[in-house]
Amino acid sequence: MKIEKDLKYTVSHEWVRLEGKIAYIGITDHAQESLGDIVFVELPRLGDKMNKGDEACTVESVKAASAIYSPLTGSVVEVNDDLEGSPELINQKPYAAYIFALEAEDQAELKDLLDAEAYEKLVAEEAE
């Protein structure tokens, strides 16, 4: 399992990469491994307003469907259209295959997210 050091993480296994005011969001390597082969991604709509913790979209695998939650408050400014035809990109490159991007309204919310070390500890605790 790979954990990128420069990203932020949620307890529900989403990752966040901030580029200016834009937050790119995807699911972690641990999450995609747990789900198995991803067969469908329901993307949010451009312009959708999200509050921190809202269900943003759904990822479906051969095992289960899993809700993806917005780690920050903001509006959807980009979606990864490549996932519509190739949802397996999340399995292949989970940290490159973002699902959607938000314009973050309150960057102070980032302090509530986990750094790589804290996320690694969370995953280890869940495995016990």
In this prediction the pTM is: 0.94
What is the pLDDT at residue 128? Answer: 84
- pLDDT digits over 41-72, tens only? 999 999 999 999 999 999 999 988 999 999 99
Domain spanning 8-120 has what CATH number?
2.40.50.100
In the chain, domain spans? 8-120
pLDDT of residue 107: 85
Q: Which two tokens stand for residue 124?
A: 């280890």
- Report how far apart, in Å, the C-alpha atoms of 37 and of each of 86, 91, 93, 105 are: 11, 7, 13, 33
Per-residue confidence (pLDDT) for residue 1, from 0 to 100: 85
Q: Do residues 8 and 18 make contact, with C-beta atoms less than 8 angstroms apart?
A: yes
Q: Which long-range contacts (CB under 8 A, 24 or more apart) does 106-109 make?
A: 106/72, 106/73, 107/18, 107/21, 109/52, 109/71, 109/72, 109/73
CA of 102: how far to CAs of 40, 49, 56, 91, 107, in Å? 21, 9, 11, 22, 11
pLDDT-derived band of residue 83, with 50, 70 and 90 as boundaries?
very high
Query: 3-class secondary structure for 7-49?
Result: CEECCCCEEEEEECCEEEEEECHHHHHHHCCEEEEECCCCCCE
pLDDT in tens, 6-25: 999 999 999 999 999 999 99
Q: What is d(CA 66, CA 51) in angstroms, rounded to the nearest whole number?
A: 18
- Residue pointed to by tokens 């999450």: 31
The string of pLDDT tens digits covering residues 109-124 is: 999 999 999 999 999 9
